Amino acid sequence: MAGFLVRRSLHGAVLVALAASLTYLLAASALRPRAHFEQRNPRPPAAVVDAELTALNLNDRTPLLRRYAVWAGGVLRGDFGRTLAGEPVAPELWRRALVSLRLLAVGTVLGAVLGVLAGAYAAARRHRPADRLITVGSFAVLSTPVFVLAVLLQLGAERINQITGVRIFEWAGEYTPGAAEGALGRLRHLVLPTLTVVLVQAAVFGRYQRHLMLDVLDADFVRTAMARGLTRRQALVRHGLRTALVPTATYFAYTFGFVLLGAMFTEKIFGWHGMGEWLIDSVHRGDVNAVAAVALLAAVLVLLAGAAADIAHAILDPRVRAGR
């Protein structure tokens, strides 16, 4: 067991190191931070630009491998370098990650729970109107890219605001700058982006859970439970759903990468200054160190999520425990 864990962690560490290095090399060779410095008005002399770029370890006249060595050495000491503005990357990364977490925490969990309930319900009422309604709804959401869904929600919210004459929904940023609106104001800003995340998450999990639940509907253990005197509902909830939930728990961790990606769209569209928005803006600016830091964090998170999935599986499924 211990040997397995050590091997697994080593494998993960190697993967993260490779992924981060590849992204850094790619970003450092493809992005053009020089353009960002030359665009200033009045246009600075080439020597000044060179000096500034060298100070940030971004000078494209330094050989790529030397820049990489400096960057990698820094990362090993916990120093992620500095952004184009000269600020250290690490504190900004944590600040942004927290903003993203605030936006995502509620949405992903709520969406997954709603999706599981809807999917299980749809399966139990297979081919009835409720099932068809849920299936059509999840199909519609799954076929709508996040950036279209977000705009549609904004349009709907605007209509509601107009009809009621009150600004119930806000969708620009995390709070209204300069206005003393307190917790309620923050909440109003949170509704639409959270709803976007919830809808997508619920649609994905609903489809998945329905599929799993259909497999256990006619399972022997559900029939046995009913023979023991449980109603169909009790048998399905206590025995069927519990079994069908095992793969979903694993899946929740698996989909983490997609959640990160969706968050990027959601943040950018709703003007939240989170990690996703930072990444997109950094790529546009040519901010190599910031891009590499986000990539490193994303790779670590995806691997941790994978490990969490395995642990969840082991806890929930007695067969896996016995197998070890």
Partner 1 sequence: MTVPGASDPSGAPPEAMPVRGPALTRRLLAQPRAVLGLALLTGLFLLAFAGPHLARWDWQQTDFTALREPPSAEHWFGTTASGRDVFALTVRGLQKSLLIGLSVAVLSTGLAALVGMVAGYAGGWADRVLMGVTDLLLVLPAFLVLAVLGPTLGSAWPLLVPALAAFMWMVTARMVRQATISLKEREFVLAARCMGVSPARVLVRHLLPNLGSLLIIDGTLHVGAAVIAESGLSYFGFGVRPPDSSLGTVIAEGAAAATTFPWLFGFAAALLVLLVLAVNLVGDGLRDALDPTGGGGVR
Q: Give the separation between CA 311 and CA 172, rounded to whole angstroms.
A: 39
219 touches partner 1 (CB under 8 A): no
99 or 298, CB closer to partner 1?
A: 298
Nearest to residue 298, comparing CAs of 274, 273, 266? 274
- Quick one: which of 88, 223, 258, 321 contacts partner 1 (CB under 8 A)? 258
* Contact call for residues 288 and 28 (beta carbons, < 8 A): yes
Q: Give the separation between CA 304 and CA 285, rounded to whole angstroms.
A: 30
174 or 277, CB closer to partner 1?
A: 277
Question: Strand, helix or coil at 82?
Answer: strand
Say which amino acid occupies 210. Answer: R
- Quick one: which of 83, 250, 266, 289 contacts partner 1 (CB under 8 A)? 250
Q: Is 145 exposed, middle or buried (0-12, 13-18, 19+ CB in 10 A)?
A: exposed
212 touches partner 1 (CB under 8 A): yes
Q: Which tokens hold the place of 272? A: 């939240």
Q: Would you list the DSSP string of 132-173?
A: HHHHHHHHHHHTS-HHHHHHHHHHHHHHHHHHHSS-----SS
181 or 283, CB closer to partner 1?
A: 283
Cα 148 to its chain centre, rounded Å, is 18
271 touches partner 1 (CB under 8 A): no
* Contact call for residues 291 and 283 (beta carbons, < 8 A): yes
100 or 180, CB closer to partner 1?
A: 100
Footprint (CB under 8 A) of partner 1, residues 77-136: none
103 or 293, CB closer to partner 1?
A: 293
- Quick one: which of 31, 190, 199, 235 contacts partner 1 (CB under 8 A)? 31
On the CB side of 285, how many CA atoms lie within 13 Å of its CA? 17
279 touches partner 1 (CB under 8 A): yes
Q: How far is the CB of 26 from partner 1 (least distance, A)?
A: 6
Q: How far is the CB of 317 from partner 1 (least distance, A)?
A: 11
24 or 37, CB closer to partner 1?
A: 24
Residues contributing to the site for partner 1 (CB under 8 A): 8, 11-12, 15-16, 18-19, 22-23, 26-27, 30-31, 139-140, 142-148, 151-152, 154-155, 158, 208, 210-212, 214-215, 247, 250-251, 253-258, 260-261, 264-265, 268-269, 279-280, 283-284, 291, 294-295, 298-299, 302-303, 305-307, 309-310, 313
